[in-house]
Amino acid sequence: MSTTHVVRDGECLKSIAQDYGFFWATLWGLPENKALKEKRGNPDVLMEGDEVFVPDLREKKIGIALEKRHRFKRKGVPSVARFKMMSEGEPRKDLPWTLDVGGKRLEGKTDANGVIETALPLGARSGYLTLHADPEEVYAVAFGDLNPADEPTGARQRLRSLGYECHEGDDKMYEKALRAFQTASEIDVTGKLDDATKDALVKAYGC
């Protein structure tokens, strides 16, 4: 039976689609979700309270020969985790990292832009990212939990990921982080989440 799913904290379209047995692109392309698609623009960027239409699952029938072995392969679209490691506006390049997630350990080095990009195990929701610096740094990370950039919560998430200290509930630190980011991005330094700052955050973070 079709339903309207109300987005909860920590969800994205990929995790919702997986829970209902769909590819995320199927839900994203439905006419019933056109308004949401136009509003958010990115399936990884939803806000708690957004509504996603989910249709009925349709049964697929295929004909097969009897008394033979048949192999079925489950299709899937892997999710990709992307981090950009920065410090005071400068990329942290060639830094070894490990990501423990879904019972697996992934590893590599940040690229010239300080970026970590890696495919995730199916169903991954959280994990621990370790930067092998001096001293070693360990971060608890949640996947799919990214709010829109024009929301203060989404701006804070991106600022922290870009290396700016910005704790929840500390408005003075948030304004300081915005000013530092605006200075590094060479845009008007207002300490406010204006359109220019939102666009710069999306460009710097990648979404």
Above 60 in pLDDT, residue 102? yes
Q: Give me the pLDDT at residue 97, please.
A: 95
| Domain spanning 3-54: CATH superfamily | LysM domain (3.10.350.10)
**CA 117/CA 189 separation, integer angstroms:** 30
pTM over 0.75: no
- What SS3 string covers the chain? CCEEEECCCCCCHHHHHHHHCCCHHHHHCCHHHHHHHHHHCCCCCCCCCCEEEECCCCCCCCCCCCCCCCCCCCCCCCCEEEEECEECCEECCCCEEEEEECCEEEEEECCCCCEEEEECCCCCCEEEEEECCCCCEEEEEECCCCCCCCCHHHHHHHHHHCCCCCCCCCHHHHHHHHHHHHHHHCCCCCCCCCHHHHHHHHHHHCC
pLDDT in tens, 14-37: 878 878 888 888 899 999 999 999
Of the ranges 22-31, 67-76, 145-154, 160-169, which is most confident? 22-31
- pLDDT tens profile 160-177: 877 788 877 788 898 998
